[in-house]
Structures are given as structure tokens and as C-alpha cells.
Structure 1
Amino acid sequence: MRLRTMALAAATLAAGGCATLQSPFDAHLASPVAQVRECADWFAALDASIDAAGVRDASATRIAGFPYLRTDRFSASLRAEAARDERALNALADRLWGLDFDARRHEIANLPEAARVELGKRTGEPEITRVAARTRECGRLLREIDLAKPAQRAALLERLAVPDDYVSAYRIAGLYAVTQIPFSSGVRRFQDETRAAFARDPHAPAAGTRIRYSPSERPRLSAARIAAMVQPAFSDPLAVPQPSESDLELLYAHFAPSFEIDTVGDDDRPGALRWRRGSMPEVEGADVSVYRQVAHTRYRGRNLLQLVYTLWFPERIAGAGRASGARGGFDLLAGKLDGLVFRVTLGPDGTPLIYDSIHPCGCYHLFFPTAAARTTPAPDGQLEWAFVPQTLPAIGADDRLVLRVAAGTHYLERILVDRADSVVRYAWRDYGELRSLARFGPGFRSVFGPDGFIAGTDRPEGWLFWPMGIERAGAMRQWGRHATAFVGRRHFDDADLFEKRFEFDLK
């Protein structure tokens, strides 16, 4: 198959000569090589079907002129390496192609049956697997052709970027230069309250009942074995750590936290997301699940592995967190669905360097460095830079991190290191499941809309906080769409997030 693809690429190069193409895809649509033209037509038809059905996946960013490639912030940060080395460029193109195909698998699964039948007329059958296979074949062909041309390689690298998730027009209209001042005061007030929560006696009574949810028994892994698992493959010119599936299973289990949740009502009981009869997903409390995924960050030219754990709650109840304990009434921060995202960043030797967390709205970004990480000062004192309410010690072989979560608000209030286990186990689910979840009836649907938001999760705060440039502040967001600062610009998946804010002692 690869030889056939290369032969077709060579035929297209011969037919196209040395013409400079401003938009590679337009040239493919008019290609004199039938199979190339048909593949371009395929992507055009597929994109039209996806957009018409409203099932576009927003996690990765599409690259203009290259419909078979997508990028995320980490991949875009590898552009300089790819520009210097052809092997690195090919490896990066493989990565971008993989991001696109992963997104398209979900988009194809989420298409209505009628749309797949229409696409099936081009492949001979409407099965999801055949439509996906055609997409893979055509993406491989167009990639081979474009990477063979210097102009297309240059165009790809030039366009390899992810727009930030801030709306500059909102900041202009909202007089951001002025309104950021009271917002900065609000941020500092939240930080003061968070410090106070972390400083409370851990044995103080809870508002309700503390229920601890833990994964299965922690696997015993030696430091040497963990270090071997997180090493990049020697054959990878980009040196990106990509453990095998079996190694990932062990790493997820080894570094997984327990969650100790102050439980007052059903809104404090976590679970898996499910489609029912409504227009938004619901939490199934009988199926306590933690969603997991891999991510990467960069530090001084090194690529570091990250493990991400996400927990979902049914809602944030109005009045949660009030000093009086009374619930109900108007609450800027209340709304359907809530959650907690916890991330572990590993050094090249597999030792945790830093932990951090947000809620799925991108709010409440907290950093928890270990002894191997030191905060660097912010360039501007008004910026939300790196709020550290607690530092964490090294974790023993039999220890596990325990995340203490508040009732109602689901704020992270403290991280404990404890050997005590729990009788309540949580199950593992891949975060990717949320991008194509079985409907209550036939078919599949992402919990996220084409804009990257979960419909129906907006908070009243969005009407007040828009001058900070964050669209629909408080609404639950898809991975890759988390703006995490009201004052300044910061994303949870920024490739230089830690490099800017911390000094790491790498071993």
C-alpha cells in the first residue's frame, strides 16, 4: 500500500510540475491524477457532511489547506524542530495526521445514518469502518504528495498554530485595561479563601460525609521500570514519550489519586456521563468512573509526559459554599455538570515534577509543585500566573495522593498523602469516549458541541465575566479549549505553561 501511495504521489508531482500552490487542497481538487482528485473530493464531501450534521470535533485545530491534518498546542510547539530536520518534519506530519484521523473517527461515528449512507455511495458501503478506512487511505495519499513539495512543507509549518481561546473583541468592548483591575481583586480574594481552606485542620468535621473513591490496588513499579516506560523511542526524531498501551495502564494506575469527597447531596456523587432523553448528558452515579488521557508539555527542549484524570459531578448547586450553609437562591457560579481535572507531569526519569488541577470550565487553576519545581516570578503582578496553595512531598511506594473535595462547590481543598484505602472503587474510562458516546436511542453523539462546549452547562457568571475575553465563562469545555486565566492569557494545554512559570530539576 505504501509503494502504491508513493507511486501516485510521484505521478502527481510529474503532472503538476513546479507550480507554486497557495492552497494545496485546491490543487488536489483539480488534479489530473484521478485517485488524487477523488481523495480530495472525498474530504470535501466528508467535511460537508460533518458540518451539516453539526458533529465537528473541536479538540484539535484544523490546518487550512490540509484537511487531513490537525494540530494541538503541543504539536504546534514542535514546529522549529520540524523546520530543521526532514525526519522530524515527517514525524510531525504523522502526528498531525493521527490527530485528524482520531477526530474524524468520532465525527464519522456521530454522523446520522442517512449521512453515512450518502457517503457510502462513494465507498460502496456505509459502514463506519469502511468510511473511516477511506478517510485513512486518502489522508495518507495527500500527505505523501504534500510533503514531497518544498512549498507545501513551508506552507504547513507556517500555518501550524492554534488560536488562543480568548475573544479579543470582548476585551476591547469590555474595556479590559480598566475592568481587569477589579477582576484581579476578585482573583486574589479567591486565592486567599483557597489558602484558608488548605490551611484548615484536616481532621475538622466535614459538612456532610466524606466518601473516599480509589482505583484498584496500586501496581508496584520500580523507579527504573517507570523511567524506562517514559523514555521516547530511539526512532522518534521528535523525542516524544509515547508509552505502549500496556505500560500506560500501569502508569495510570500507579499515579492515580484517590478522591475524598465531602458528600451532602446527590450533586456530590461522581459518575460516568450518559446520554438519556434530554439535550445534555447526565451523570450516572451508579457507575463511578474517572476519565483518563495522555498529554505532553515542554521544558527547555525536553518533551515531558503527562497523565490526566477527570471526574464528573451532576451539577454545582446554587448557594454551595456559602458560609451560612444555606443553599438555593441566585448563584453566579451554579449550573448543570461540574467536575475536577487533575494532572501529573512526569520528569524524564518518571518522577512527578508538578501536579495541577482545574474544573472542566477551565476555572480554578491550582499548581502543586514537588521539591523538584520552583515558581518563577510573574512579569506583571496583575497577571494570574501560578497560584500554589500547597507543595507536595515525594510519594512512598505504598502511598497514594488523596484529593479532598468540598461539598457543593467541588473545590479542591487539600491534597493528602495516605496509605489508607477505600471500599468504594472507581472504574477507568478513556476520555475519548466522551467524543462519541452512545445515545439513549440509536447512534452516537459527542458530549461536546462543535464549539467545544457542553450545551446546557452555562453559568450566569458568563454574562458578567465576558470583558475578560473568555467566551461562556463557567461552561464545561472539551480538552484543548481550556482558557484558565481571567487576567492575562493562559491555557491548560499551553506547551510552555510550566516552562514559563517554574524551574524544574530534571534528572
Structure 2
Amino acid sequence: MEPILSEQCWWFAYPWRWIILCLSLIGCAALPPAPPPVDAESPETTCLKFYRVLDQTMETRRTLDVRHTRVPGLPFLRTSRFWASFSPASMTPVTYRAWLEHQNALAIEGLTLEWLRLPDSQQRALLTLLPDHHDDISAALIHCGVQMVAEQALQPRLAPFDVPDHYQGWKRWLGLYPLAALPFYRGVVEEHRTLNQRQAGFTPPRSDEPEADPWHYFGQQNTTPSPNNALTLLSQQSVDPLGIPLMDASTRQQLLTAFQPTIAVPASDGGLADNDRPLRLSVSKSGDLQPLLSEPTLYTDIAYGRYRNQVTVQLIYSVWFSERRPEGTLDLLAGRYNGIAWRVHLLPSGAVIGFDKMHQCGCWYQFFPAMGFRTRPSLAFGQEPFHIGQPLDPRARLTLWLESNTHHLLGISTGSVNASAVPFELANYNELRALESDNAEPIVAAFDADGLLPGSERLERWIFWPMGIRSPGAMRILGTHAIAFIGRRHFDDPALLDELGL
């Protein structure tokens, strides 16, 4: 299988941006054991050394990108919960090769984004290891990836690899988790009940009284195709040996455009508060993360999951706000930055099976089945219950109504976009993994080496730590979200829909 790089990447104005767009189209990541034995004089040896040196350099300089998991001994592969859920032993040679290629693509994506954060002098020094590709890191990584995947495919099959979860067992042990979990469980159930009551009692403003409407809207007025046409387009795509739809850049963008939600936030008498304006995350000249309120931005991404042994396509939309302000003298949940992630679950056959949302900390996860589906969770003992919302029309444009400041979801409605809606700037989520500052240097990631958004920590971490989550309440990168205090559950778990009993 040839490496997949988009021919449409040329139109990006800055090299780092077209690299990010290209990477978003490549595919996915990795698994374990030791590197394949290769002839010391072979091209594979040079390529393996190149990947290893890059990987070690990123670790030494702490420019690690943790969206996907590194594989010990195999620097040309990175994995995720989805890719690690496949069984290599049961694959045909063709599917096994495709599986390796997807995971090599994740390594290329991660290494390239980490590369952008190195000084120019170090980049030039590292590229001398591969003189045939001395001016193009992506070409070098793809060139080497093809060779190493081909070599790995001839070796004994890799064993299944478990991606580490994002719970810290030592905290649960130290915090007497079996006892501490009891009040937390009651608190979660009460929180679900309260939010359900608020959502059930919410009524959107009447469209025939715009002068009395206190809400501000962010979304696209005219989108093509419609959700219905986009689903038809998806059903027409061929799939690779692993069941992954083969979508080009145009198809991916049409899907993301068709299902993007409208965000509604209420204003007070003084107008819309600054911390209720969707923002773009940027970097100051000194390299510090800063909110850009003048560019309301919707970050988009496509991932994969499973439903009854079928691959699902996940459309993910992320919105960020500058802060959650304190409400009272001691607000444990207040702090810098806030936001929500909205996700649409699709079958390659062209059906919507559900929607879900969480805050960017992994908190307040809620699932909404598409009409025609219902949930029957079968929960293990000691597992946090799911928060299930109303069934939603799978082919309608949706508006998400958020509470001011907390950004809790108050309700969801269907229908056309409000005429006063401010258009979103659409950005690939990968941009958050390599942000360019105002003066072009330095390029930094929004997230640190633990996947956390610096400065977004909450006081609640000093109380909720016995639940075992790293810095509970802090914002974090996709792929690292624990979404339950009781038991273990992750936003990117490919078996999540089956756990819901959908």
C-alpha cells in the first residue's frame, strides 16, 4: 500500500500548516515487541536508526506528542486504543500489512509535529542521517516507513499491545478508593439527575421574536452537502482490508461540514462575556499559550471506533473558551480555559447511530442515541453509570445550547441555523499539536508531555485525586480523556458503544 498524502495540501500558506493538514489524512498508529532484525548494511538499518534518533531526540528535548502511544522498540509505529484493539494473529497477510501501515502513519504524524518544534540547527543536523531526503522530513519518514513496514510484515506477528489507561492506580490505592468511591458515586448520580432536569425543562427562544433573543450563535449558515447527502457520499466510499473507509480530503471535509453543530451561548445585559466566546488557541511571541477571541474557531477531527464488530467513523468537533470564572468565594471547578467536544458516530454504510459530548477535561460525558436506537448498558460492578440524553434526529442540523460561564449543555434543538450566527473558522485539530507564534518562532504544542493544557488545572484536583485521574478538571488532548470517576472508561475506547448496549 502506497503512503497516503493529500494532493490538495499545496494551498496552505505556511509549510507547517500544510504539513498538519496532510498528516490528518494519513491514517493511524502502533503495537509492541523488539525491532526486526536487519542486515547492518541494509537501507532498513539506516531508516531504523533515523527513526530511533528522532524519537530519542524528542524525548530528550521534551517535545513529545502524546496523542498516540509510542511502541517500545518500534519507533516507526504508534498506536491508539482503536488500533490496539485489532488481533494481529487473526489477520491475513494483507490486513496485517495494512494495519502496520496505519500505525506507521501515526508515527509519521507524531514525529513530524514534534519535529516542527525543534530548532532549525537541530533539524538540519538530523536530516544528514538521510541525505536522499535532506530537505523534507515528511518524505524521509514516509520513505523509511515503507521499507520498515515491509520488513516488519515478514517477521513473526506482533503480540497484542494494550494502550496504558489514563488512571493512576497508586492514587486509588493511597486514597482508599473502595471507600472514597462511595460518596463520589452518589455525587455522580445526583449530577446526572440535576442535569437531566435542566435539559428536560429547557426551551429554546422563539425564532419569531429575534429582538427578545439574548442568545449569541456561532455556526455556518449554508452548508453543503446536507447531512443526508453526506451520509450517501459516505456509503459510496470503498473500504480498505481493515474496513476503514478510503476517504479523500474532499469527502472528509464534506462530512465534517455537514454535521458541524451550531453553538449558542446566552448574553447578559452587558453583552456576551469574553469567556463565553469560542476562541482560537494561539501562541504569544514569548511562546506562551494565549486565547484569540477575535477568531471563533471550531476544531475538527476524524477518528474510528466500533459498533458490533463494524468500524465506525467518528466526527469530532472541539470548542474552546478562555476560562470558567469563579462562582462564589471558593469555586473548585473554576480556572483558565474551558471547552466541550461534540462527536458524531457514523457507520460506513451511511447511518448515524449516536452522538456524545464531554468537556475538554473529560468531565460531564453524555451520550445521545440517534432516533431508532436505544441504550441498554450492561455495567460491571463498581462502574460509573452512563448519562443518557434524549434521542436525536440523525439527519438534522443541531444547535447546542450552552450555559454561560460553566458551558454545561442545557439543551439540543434541530432546525436551521439562526440568521445572526457568527461563522466559525474551521481548523484541523492537529493545529493544536503545533502552534506557530506571532513571530513564527517558537512552534509549540498547546499540550504538555502529559497531554494537559498548561494553566488549566483546577482546585478540584486536591479533592478528586483518590479517583486516580491525573489533574482532574484540567483540559487535555484527545486520546487521553478518562470520562468516569468510578471504574475505568475512556472517550476513545472503541468498545464504548457496545458498553452502552446500543
Measured against the shorter chain, the TM-score band is: 0.7 to 0.9
Which one of 54, 58, 61 corresponds to residue 69 of structure 2?
Answer: 61
Output aligned runs, 1:127-146, within 5 Å.
130-146=136-152
Relative to structure 1, the CA distance from residue 204 to residue 175 in structure 2 (aligned partners, 3 Å threshold; closer, same or farther) is farther
| CA distance, structure 1, for counterparts of residue 204 and residue 35 of structure 2 | 63
Which one of 405, 408, 420 corresponds to residue 405 of structure 2?
Answer: 408
Q: Deviations over 1:364-409 (max 9, x none)?
A: 101111223211134347522321132223445xxx2000000010
Q: How many residues align?
A: 462
| CA distance, structure 1, for counterparts of residue 237 and residue 81 of structure 2 | 19
| CA distance, structure 2, for counterparts of residue 111 and residue 355 of structure 1 | 38
Relative to structure 1, the CA distance from residue 487 to residue 239 in structure 2 (aligned partners, 3 Å threshold; closer, same or farther) is same
**8 A contact 2:319–2:340 mirrored in 1:** yes
Matched, 1:106 2:113: yes
**8 A contact 2:228–2:395 mirrored in 1:** no
Q: What SS does the corresponding residue of 2:164 show, helix, strand or coil?
A: coil
| CA distance, structure 2, for counterparts of residue 125 and residue 334 of structure 1 | 52
| CA distance, structure 1, for counterparts of residue 163 and residue 196 of structure 2 | 34
Output aligned runs, 1:196-235, within 5 Å.
196-203=197-204, 209-221=214-226, 223=228, 226-230=231-235, 233-234=238-239
Q: CA shift at 1:427, angstroms?
A: 1.6
- 2:45 corresponding residue in structure 1: 37
| CA distance, structure 2, for counterparts of residue 364 and residue 412 of structure 1 | 9
Relative to structure 1, the CA distance from residue 45 to residue 317 in structure 2 (aligned partners, 3 Å threshold; closer, same or farther) is same
Output aligned runs, 1:168-183, within 5 Å.
168-183=169-184
Q: CA shift at 1:317, angstroms?
A: 0.7
- 1:15 corresponding residue in structure 2: none
Q: What SS does the corresponding residue of 1:122 show, helix, strand or coil?
A: coil
- 2:467 corresponding residue in structure 1: 468
5+ long unaligned stretches in structure 1: 3-20, 320-327
- 1:496 corresponding residue in structure 2: 495
Q: CA shift at 1:488, angstroms?
A: 1.2
Which one of 154, 159, 168 corresponds to residue 157 of structure 1?
Answer: 159
Q: CA shift at 1:299, angstroms?
A: 1.2
Output aligned runs, 1:88-107, within 5 Å.
88-107=95-114
Q: Deviations over 1:288-322 (max 9, x none)?
A: 11000101111121111111100010011111xxx
Select the structure that is richer in helix. 1
Query: Match of 1:358, as an amino acid?
Result: M
Relative to structure 1, the CA distance from residue 445 to residue 24 in structure 2 (aligned partners, 3 Å threshold; closer, same or farther) is same
**8 A contact 2:461–2:473 mirrored in 1:** yes
- 1:18 corresponding residue in structure 2: none
**8 A contact 1:231–1:241 mirrored in 2:** no
Q: Deviations over 1:71-100 (max 9, x none)?
A: 1111112225x6331111011011101111
Q: What SS does the corresponding residue of 2:181 show, helix, strand or coil?
A: helix
Q: TM-score, normalised by structure 1?
A: 0.85
**8 A contact 2:67–2:477 mirrored in 1:** yes
Matched, 1:261 2:271: no
Matched, 1:245 2:249: yes
Output aligned runs, 1:265-280, within 5 Å.
265-277=273-285, 280=288
Output aligned runs, 1:114-125, within 5 Å.
114-124=121-131
Q: What SS does the corresponding residue of 1:110 show, helix, strand or coil?
A: coil
| CA distance, structure 1, for counterparts of residue 450 and residue 227 of structure 2 | 43
Relative to structure 1, the CA distance from residue 373 to residue 47 in structure 2 (aligned partners, 3 Å threshold; closer, same or farther) is same
Q: What SS does the corresponding residue of 1:66 show, helix, strand or coil?
A: coil
| CA distance, structure 2, for counterparts of residue 227 and residue 38 of structure 1 | 46
Relative to structure 1, the CA distance from residue 277 to residue 190 in structure 2 (aligned partners, 3 Å threshold; closer, same or farther) is farther
Q: Deviations over 1:481-504 (max 9, x none)?
A: 01100001110010000012133x
| CA distance, structure 1, for counterparts of residue 292 and residue 128 of structure 2 | 39
- 1:374 corresponding residue in structure 2: 374
| CA distance, structure 2, for counterparts of residue 465 and residue 250 of structure 1 | 41
Q: What SS does the corresponding residue of 2:470 show, helix, strand or coil?
A: coil
Q: What SS does the corresponding residue of 1:311 show, helix, strand or coil?
A: strand
- 1:447 corresponding residue in structure 2: 446
Q: What SS does the corresponding residue of 1:373 show, helix, strand or coil?
A: coil
| CA distance, structure 2, for counterparts of residue 201 and residue 494 of structure 1 | 31
- 1:7 corresponding residue in structure 2: none
Moved more, 101-110 or 279-288: 279-288
Q: TM-score, normalised by structure 2?
A: 0.86
Q: CA shift at 1:210, angstroms?
A: 1.3
Query: Match of 1:310, as an amino acid?
Result: S
| CA distance, structure 2, for counterparts of residue 454 and residue 482 of structure 1 | 12
Relative to structure 1, the CA distance from residue 174 to residue 126 in structure 2 (aligned partners, 3 Å threshold; closer, same or farther) is farther
| CA distance, structure 2, for counterparts of residue 103 and residue 447 of structure 1 | 14
Matched, 1:334 2:334: yes
| CA distance, structure 2, for counterparts of residue 222 and residue 204 of structure 1 | 24
Output aligned runs, 1:357-368, within 5 Å.
357-368=357-368
Q: CA shift at 1:282, angstroms?
A: 2.1
Which one of 415, 429, 432 corresponds to residue 431 of structure 1?
Answer: 429
CA-based RMSD: 2.5
Relative to structure 1, the CA distance from residue 168 to residue 253 in structure 2 (aligned partners, 3 Å threshold; closer, same or farther) is same
**8 A contact 1:218–1:254 mirrored in 2:** yes
Q: CA shift at 1:111, angstroms?
A: 1.2
| CA distance, structure 2, for counterparts of residue 43 and residue 238 of structure 1 | 26
| CA distance, structure 2, for counterparts of residue 418 and residue 148 of structure 1 | 54
- 2:416 corresponding residue in structure 1: 419
- 2:302 corresponding residue in structure 1: 294
Q: Deviations over 1:154-180 (max 9, x none)?
A: xx233x331111111111111111110
Moved more, 170-179 or 421-430: 421-430
- 1:147 corresponding residue in structure 2: 153
Q: CA shift at 1:357, angstroms?
A: 0.2
Higher-Rg member (1/2):
1
| CA distance, structure 1, for counterparts of residue 457 and residue 132 of structure 2 | 40
Q: What SS does the corresponding residue of 1:157 show, helix, strand or coil?
A: coil
Relative to structure 1, the CA distance from residue 170 to residue 278 in structure 2 (aligned partners, 3 Å threshold; closer, same or farther) is farther
Relative to structure 1, the CA distance from residue 278 to residue 188 in structure 2 (aligned partners, 3 Å threshold; closer, same or farther) is farther
- 2:317 corresponding residue in structure 1: 309
5+ long unaligned stretches in structure 2: 3-31, 207-212
